[in-house]
């Protein structure tokens, strides 16, 4: 007798739906509750809110996808149930595909119902409802796929949950680990968060998918798709399918006697132990930060001890893990970890000493990155930027860069923080971050850069900018000791006066004393604020420039800026502002 | 014929079954006995296709059991620890079994309500242990299996229900030629219903043959006098001049050997299954004294 080959069992399918009705019912009710909150007489407003909600649903699907996988395949974690069910005349593929079909419908059916409701609510924007269904299904496919794969790796519900969250947030763990424990040992190098965010599917799936903006005043709707989010969504959905394929392969090989063990796959045990141990270290560190405690390395040590032995207890399901073999494992782990930290500090590859060769560099920029910076630069929010393109300029700065690398013992006190960016000809970017001691020689070199007119006016063409200045205001209210402290603001509109003042400022720039940062003027008082109104186009200009053709800059003049102050004093006297 | 050839199964570093060979002839009632931890339950899980063997073959009528629904629908198992879906009633389990086992007999199921008298709509998990066992029989027999595998089947059943259940099973064997494999520690009960017996220990099959052969091959010899040489003595105890020996061999062979030494008195007595079990295992260091503190 030959059975028809079908990998779907209707009885199990129906049983799943009935048995886990509370799960999908709750999800359905939750969806309907959300939609009831969105309800509005104006369909565009519903669309507006719905567009915002689509990404956020990734967090719900993260929980729901994992939960569905956990409950549907949860019988694998119970030895008695597992044995009883697998004695029935069904292949594992039958069980698997029937559960997968049910699981997918656990999301699709409630969302289909939700889509029908949204159709009514959205009226002519009904296509948003279809987008909703597509996004929810694809998000869920990923999370359910990863959840199912986690089930096949785990031997218990707790392990499944642990594996599931490790897979979803491993990049976050790696980032925090690198950021907290390794980055401080790599002088000048910072680990950027975008890299970990890219590899964190939950964060990426929680991005916006639809740009649907309802302008109440204009009464119009602006709409479009964020294609990057969609590409990522398709990619993770494909990953979900791959995870399901991986899961069925693991299921076919699964030893059912592992039901009740922590992990189903023994080779995963050391991997889990390492990740768990590091995770506990990171969690402990983050937890202590909440209470304002500092010192990451002591907490790392405590976390390693606690994490390693707690992980071992979980794996072996006993507290009796304090054996010689375990201690040997712990020592090996600790030695490897500390060794990696020491290696990072020693930097045998010379990563922290690396400066790109001049002929490799397309251009370079450097920034001041400090709260001491005086004004809010419109170019890049709170900081000014300086770009070098010529070979001579770049070559000169490379020498300063080498000095910055050598002067690496200054981490606090009077320091000046500098960011350096090299855009290489091969398309890659090198970023470095340094602290320069304000009393060091390299600081003086930097000061000359930060005093250049290009830097203080945030322009790549200072001459054009200076020529285009139409109007200058001198604010005398700030402790200008030569004058009456009258608080007056004096306008300069005569082009000759303007250019004369600018020449005085340029002299101070050349003297390297015009840097717009309190760090560079530790013992000097502020004597004058100068406001410029210029019409020059700015390479790094803000939106205001584009719209008005004008830009506004302000400049703080310190008591050391002798040329500028001398001009101002003579100007005030010649124009009768002071006696 | 349910056949297990050279099957080995390990759990980590522990070998649960070590090259086990077992043959359950068709239409027989086979009793699988052995001390705790002998590997009986593991063997049953392998025979019912739950576990995959590390090596060896498990077949029913020449076809592999593992991951073979065609064969597995002819095998029904009542494990030692029965498990139903939480909150399932007997009626719900009937519907489930009906969807899984193509040969499920609804009419028989209805008739068996008179035998077991279990509530149809109540949740099975609220039943007593004995009632849950009855529910398992109720369901399993209705799948009309060719092979019924039972692990400690009548534990928790009252004497009347025990008799009822055995009667049902034996009538099924008689009517349909069902093969029954029973794992049990109740050797007196097995002796009444089994026609084949296998004794396991430490994952190995010590002995398997028909009960008649087994009882005809091991005897209790009581004698006053010298013990003849050449007898395969499994156990010996002395009470004054009276020696009691458990001896392997036929009555004729033993009688001839004993007569040759002309004892003052001798008698050859049959052994119960329980005595065979105890003395066979005594030979592999599992004597009664070892488990009596």
B69 in A contact zone (CB under 8 Å) = yes
Backbone angles phi, psi at A366, to 5 degrees: -140, 155
**Minimal-distance CA residue of chain A relative to B98:** A11
CA-to-CA distance for A183 and B22, rounded, in angstroms?
63
Number of neighbours of residue B114 by Cβ within 10 angstroms: 7
Question: Cβ(A156)–Cβ(A146) under 8 Å?
Answer: no
Q: Under 8 Å CB-to-CB from A217, ≥6 apart: which residues?
A: none
Kindly provide the b/e burial profile for residues B175-213, where b requires at least 16 CB atoms within 10 angstroms of the residue's own CB: eeebbbbbbbebbebbbebbebbbbbbbbbbbbbeebee
pLDDT band for A269, please (50, 70, 90 cuts): very high
Provide the number of CB pairs (under 8 Å) joining chain A to chain B: 64
Half-sphere exposure of B39 (CA within 13 A, CB side): 28
Nearest to A117 by CA among A210, A26, A30, A35: A35
Please judge whether B100 and A88 are an interchain contact, meaning their C-beta atoms are less than 8 angstroms apart.
yes
**Minimal-distance CA residue of chain B relative to A266:** B12
Q: Is A376 helix (H, G, I), strand (E, B) or coil?
A: coil
Q: What per-residue confidence (pLDDT) applies to A412? A: 60
Q: What per-residue confidence (pLDDT) applies to A480? A: 54
Question: Cβ(A528)–Cβ(A474) under 8 Å?
Answer: yes
pLDDT in tens, A336-383: 999 999 999 999 999 899 999 998 998 888 776 654 444 434 344 334
Fold observed for domain B2-202:
Rossmann fold (3.40.50)
Between these two residues, A478 and A392, which has the higher pLDDT value?
Answer: A392
pLDDT band for A40, please (50, 70, 90 cuts): confident
Question: Cβ(A276)–Cβ(A270) under 8 Å?
Answer: no
A408 DSSP assignment: T
**Cα A491 from chain centre:** 45
Nearest to A100 by CA among A249, A244, A203: A244
Torsion B112-B118-B124-B127 (CA) sign: negative
The answer to which of A254-258, A483-487, B189-193, B271-275 has the lowest mean pLDDT is A483-487
pLDDT in tens, A45-54: 889 889 989 9
Please judge whether B49 and A255 are an interchain contact, meaning their C-beta atoms are less than 8 angstroms apart.
no
CA-to-CA distance for A191 and A176, rounded, in angstroms?
9
**Minimal-distance CA residue of chain A relative to B78:** A84
Residues from chain A that touch B48, judged by Cβ atoms under 8 A, are 87
Nearest to B231 by CA among B214, B219, B213: B219
| CB-count burial class (<10 Å; 0-12, 13-18, 19+) for A395 | middle
CATH class of B213-291: alpha beta
**Minimal-distance CA residue of chain B relative to A257:** B51
Residues from chain A that touch B143, judged by Cβ atoms under 8 A, are none
DSSP letter for each residue of A3-48: ----S--HHHHHHHHHHTHHHHHHHHHHHHHHHHHH--SSHHHHHH
Residues from chain A that touch B67, judged by Cβ atoms under 8 A, are 91-92
B11 in A contact zone (CB under 8 Å) = yes
Please judge whether A90 and B45 are an interchain contact, meaning their C-beta atoms are less than 8 angstroms apart.
no
Q: What per-residue confidence (pLDDT) applies to A61? A: 96
Q: Is the pLDDT of residue A1 over 60?
A: no
Q: What per-residue confidence (pLDDT) applies to A374? A: 47
Please judge whether A257 and B51 are an interchain contact, meaning their C-beta atoms are less than 8 angstroms apart.
yes
The CA distance from A94 to the nearest CA of chain B, in Å, is 10
User: What pairing do the DSSP bridges indicate for beta strands A429-437 and A415-424?
Assistant: antiparallel
Backbone angles phi, psi at A211, to 5 degrees: -95, 95
Residue extents of the structural domains in chain B: 2-202, 213-291
DSSP letter for each residue of A84-129: HHHTSS--HHHHHHHHHHHHHHHHHHHHHHHHHHHHHHHGGGTHHH
pLDDT band for A579, please (50, 70, 90 cuts): low
Please judge whether B50 and A83 are an interchain contact, meaning their C-beta atoms are less than 8 angstroms apart.
yes
The tokens of A448 are what? 């000359």
The CA distance from A313 to the nearest CA of chain B, in Å, is 18
Residues A132-140 have a mean pLDDT of: 96
Question: Cβ(A18)–Cβ(A103) under 8 Å?
Answer: no
Residues from chain A that touch B100, judged by Cβ atoms under 8 A, are 9, 11-12, 88-90
Number of H helices, E strands in chain A: 20, 10
Q: What is the pLDDT along chain B (293 residues), one digit of tens a residue?
A: 899 999 999 998 899 999 999 999 999 999 998 888 889 999 999 999 999 999 999 999 999 999 999 999 999 999 888 888 888 999 999 999 999 999 999 999 999 998 888 998 899 988 988 889 899 999 999 999 999 999 988 887 888 888 888 888 888 899 999 999 999 888 888 888 898 999 898 899 988 888 888 888 888 899 998 888 888 888 888 888 899 988 888 888 899 988 888 888 999 988 888 888 777 766 555 544 443 33
B253 in A contact zone (CB under 8 Å) = no
B48 in A contact zone (CB under 8 Å) = yes
**Cα A333 from chain centre:** 30
pLDDT in tens, A419-467: 888 999 998 989 898 888 777 788 878 877 788 887 777 776 778 878 8
Please judge whether A80 and B51 are an interchain contact, meaning their C-beta atoms are less than 8 angstroms apart.
no
CA-to-CA distance for B156 and B158, rounded, in angstroms?
7
Top residue of B44, B50, B78, B84 to mutate, by most chain A CBs within 10 Å, is: B50
Residues from chain A that touch B52, judged by Cβ atoms under 8 A, are 255
CA-to-CA distance for A533 and A515, rounded, in angstroms?
20
Q: What per-residue confidence (pLDDT) applies to B81? A: 80
A221 DSSP assignment: E
Question: Cβ(A350)–Cβ(A400) under 8 Å?
Answer: no
CA-to-CA distance for A268 and A223, rounded, in angstroms?
46
User: Dihedral (C-alpha) B69, B75, B80, B81: value to the nearest 10 degrees?
Assistant: 40
Question: Cβ(A286)–Cβ(A247) under 8 Å?
Answer: no
Q: Is A372 helix (H, G, I), strand (E, B) or coil?
A: coil
Q: Under 8 Å CB-to-CB from B72, ≥6 apart: which residues?
A: A87, A88, A89, A90, B48, B49, B65
Average pLDDT score, chain A: 84
B95 in A contact zone (CB under 8 Å) = yes
Of A11, A89, A255, the CB nearest to B69: A89
Top residue of A257, A266, A315 to mutate, by most chain B CBs within 10 Å, is: A257
B81 in A contact zone (CB under 8 Å) = yes
Q: What per-residue confidence (pLDDT) applies to A418? A: 82
Please judge whether A86 and B82 are an interchain contact, meaning their C-beta atoms are less than 8 angstroms apart.
no
Q: How far is CA A350 from CA A345, A354, A433, A501, in A?
A: 10, 6, 16, 48
Q: Is the pLDDT of residue A562 over 50?
A: yes
Q: What per-residue confidence (pLDDT) applies to B145? A: 94
pLDDT in tens, A150-202: 999 999 999 999 999 999 999 988 998 888 888 888 888 888 777 788 899 99
Q: Which residue intervals of A123-257 are DSSP H helices?
A: 127-153, 157-177, 193-198, 201-205, 227-253
Q: Which of residues 267-286 of B touch A (CB under 8 A)?
A: none
B67 in A contact zone (CB under 8 Å) = yes
Q: What per-residue confidence (pLDDT) applies to A27? A: 96
Residues in chain B: 293
B85 in A contact zone (CB under 8 Å) = yes
3-state SS track over A74-93: HHHHCHHHHHHHHCCCCCHH
Q: What per-residue confidence (pLDDT) applies to A487? A: 57
Question: Cβ(A299)–Cβ(A285) under 8 Å?
Answer: yes
Between these two residues, A518 and B96, which has the higher pLDDT value?
Answer: B96
A317 in B contact zone (CB under 8 Å) = no
3-state SS track over chain B: CEEEEEEEEEECCEEEEEEEEEEECCCCEEEEECCCCCCHHHHHHHHCCCCCCCEEEEEECCEECCCCHHHHCCEEEECCCCCCCCCCEHHHHHHHHHHHCCCCCHHHHHHHHHHHCCCCCCEHHHCCHHHHHHHHHHHHHHCCCCEEEEECCCCCCCHHHHHHHHHHHHHHHHHHCCEEEEECCCHHHHHHHCCEEEEEECCEEEEEEEHHHHHHHEEEEEEECCCCCCCEEEEEEEECCEEEEEEECCHHHHHHHHHHCCCCEEEEEECCHHHHHHHHHHCCCCCHHHHCC
The CA distance from A12 to the nearest CA of chain B, in Å, is 8
Own/partner pairs for B167-173, CB < 8 Å, 24+ apart?
A: B168/B115, B168/B137, B168/B141, B169/B29, B169/B141, B169/B193, B170/B29, B172/B141, B172/B148, B173/B27, B173/B29
């Amino acid at each position: 007798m030959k059975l028809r080959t079908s990998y779907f069992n209707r009885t199990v399918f129906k049983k799943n739906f009935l048995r886990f009705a509370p799960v999908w019912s709750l999800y359905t009710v939750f969806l309907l509750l959300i939609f009831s909150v969105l309800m509005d007489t104006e369909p565009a407003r519903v669309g507006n809110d719905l567009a915002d909600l689509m990404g956020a649903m990734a967090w719900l699907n993260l929980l729901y996808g994992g939960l569905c996988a956990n409950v549907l395949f949860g019988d694998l974690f119970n030895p008695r149930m597992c044995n009883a069910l697998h004695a029935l005349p069904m292949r594992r593929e039958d069980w698997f595909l029937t559960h997968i079909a049910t699981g997918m419908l656990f999301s699709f059916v409630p969302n289909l119902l939700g889509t029908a409701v949204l159709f009514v609510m959205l009226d002519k924007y009904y296509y948003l409802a279809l987008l909703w269904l597509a996004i929810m299904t694809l998000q869920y496919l990923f999370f359910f796929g990863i959840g199912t794969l986690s089930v096949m790796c785990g031997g218990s519900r707790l392990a499944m949950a642990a594996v599931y969250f490790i897979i979803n947030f491993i990049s976050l763990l790696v980032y925090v680990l690198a950021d907290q424990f390794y980055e401080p040992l790599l002088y000048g190098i910072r680990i950027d968060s975008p890299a970990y965010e890219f590899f964190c599917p939950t964060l990426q799936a929680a991005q916006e998918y639809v740009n649907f903006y309802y302008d109440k005043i204009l009464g119009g709707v602006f709409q479009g798709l964020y294609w990057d989010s969609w590409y990522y969504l398709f990619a993770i959905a494909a990953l979900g399918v791959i995870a399901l394929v991986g899961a069925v392969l693991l299921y076919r090989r699964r030893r059912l006697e592992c039901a009740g063990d922590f992990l189903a796959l023994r080779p995963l045990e050391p991997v889990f132990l390492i990740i768990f141990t590091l995770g506990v270290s990171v969690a402990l560190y983050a937890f202590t930060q909440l209470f304002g405690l500092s010192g990451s390395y002591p907490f790392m040590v405590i976390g390693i001890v606690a994490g390693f032995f707690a992980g071992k207890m979980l794996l072996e399901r006993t507290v009796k893990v304090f054996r010689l073999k375990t201690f040997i494992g712990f020592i090996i782990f600790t030695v490897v970890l500390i060794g990696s930290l020491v290696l990072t500090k020693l930097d045998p590859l010379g990563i922290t000493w690396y400066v790109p060769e001049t002929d490799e560099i397309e251009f370079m920029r450097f920034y001041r990155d400090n709260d001491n910076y005086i004004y809010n630069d419109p170019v890049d929010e709170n900081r000014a930027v300086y770009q070098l393109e010529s070979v001579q300029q770049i070559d000169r700065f490379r020498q300063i860069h080498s000095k910055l690398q050598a002067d690496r013992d200054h981490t606090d006190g009077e320091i000046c923080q500098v960011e350096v960016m090299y855009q290489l000809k091969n398309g890659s970017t090198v970023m470095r971050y340094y602290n320069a001691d304000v009393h060091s020689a390299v600081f003086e070199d930097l000061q000359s850069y930060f005093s250049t007119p290009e830097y203080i006016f945030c322009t790549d063409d200072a001459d054009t900018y200076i020529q285009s200045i139409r109007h200058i205001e001198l604010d005398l209210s700030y402790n200008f000791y030569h004058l009456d402290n009258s608080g007056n603001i004096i306008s300069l509109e005569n082009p000759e006066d303007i250019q004369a003042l600018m020449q005085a400022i340029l002299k101070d720039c050349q003297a390297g004393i015009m840097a717009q940062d309190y760090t560079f003027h530790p013992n000097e008082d502020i004597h004058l604020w100068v406001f410029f109104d210029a019409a020059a186009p700015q390479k790094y200009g803000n939106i205001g420039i584009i719209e008005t053709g004008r830009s506004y800059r302000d400049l703080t003049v310190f008591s050391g800026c002798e040329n500028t102050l001398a001009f101002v004093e003579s100007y005030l006297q010649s124009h009768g502002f002071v006696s | 014929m349910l056949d297990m050839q050279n099957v080995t199964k390990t759990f980590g570093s522990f070998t649960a079954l070590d090259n086990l060979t077992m043959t359950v002839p068709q239409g027989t009632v086979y009793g699988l006995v052995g001390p705790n931890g002998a590997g009986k339950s593991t063997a049953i899980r392998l025979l019912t296709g739950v576990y995959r063997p590390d090596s060896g073959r498990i077949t029913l009528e020449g076809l592999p059991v593992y991951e073979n629904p065609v064969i597995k629908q002819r095998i029904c198992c009542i494990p030692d620890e029965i498990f139903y879906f939480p909150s399932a009633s007997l009626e719900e389990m009937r519907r489930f079994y009906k969807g899984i086992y193509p040969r499920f007999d609804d009419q028989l199921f209805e008739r068996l309500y008179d035998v077991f008298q279990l509530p149809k709509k109540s949740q099975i998990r609220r039943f007593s242990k004995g009632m849950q066992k009855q529910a398992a029989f109720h369901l399993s027999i209705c799948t009309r299996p060719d092979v019924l595998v039972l692990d400690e089947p009548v534990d928790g059943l009252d004497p009347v229900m025990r008799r009822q259940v055995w009667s049902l099973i034996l009538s099924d064997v008689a009517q349909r030629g069902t093969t029954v494999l029973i794992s049990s520690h109740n050797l007196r009960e097995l002796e009444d219903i089994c026609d084949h017996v296998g004794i396991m220990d430490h994952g190995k099959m010590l002995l398997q043959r028909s009960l008649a052969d087994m009882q005809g091959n091991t005897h209790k010899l009581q004698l006053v006098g010298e013990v003849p040489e050449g007898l395969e003595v499994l156990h010996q105890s002395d009470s004054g001049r009276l020696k009691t020996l458990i001896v392997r061999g036929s009555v004729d062979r033993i009688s001839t050997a004993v007569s040759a030494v002309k004892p003052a008195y001798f008698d050859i007595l049959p052994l119960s299954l329980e005595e065979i079990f105890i003395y066979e295992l005594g030979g592999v260091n599992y004597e009664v004294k070892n488990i009596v503190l």
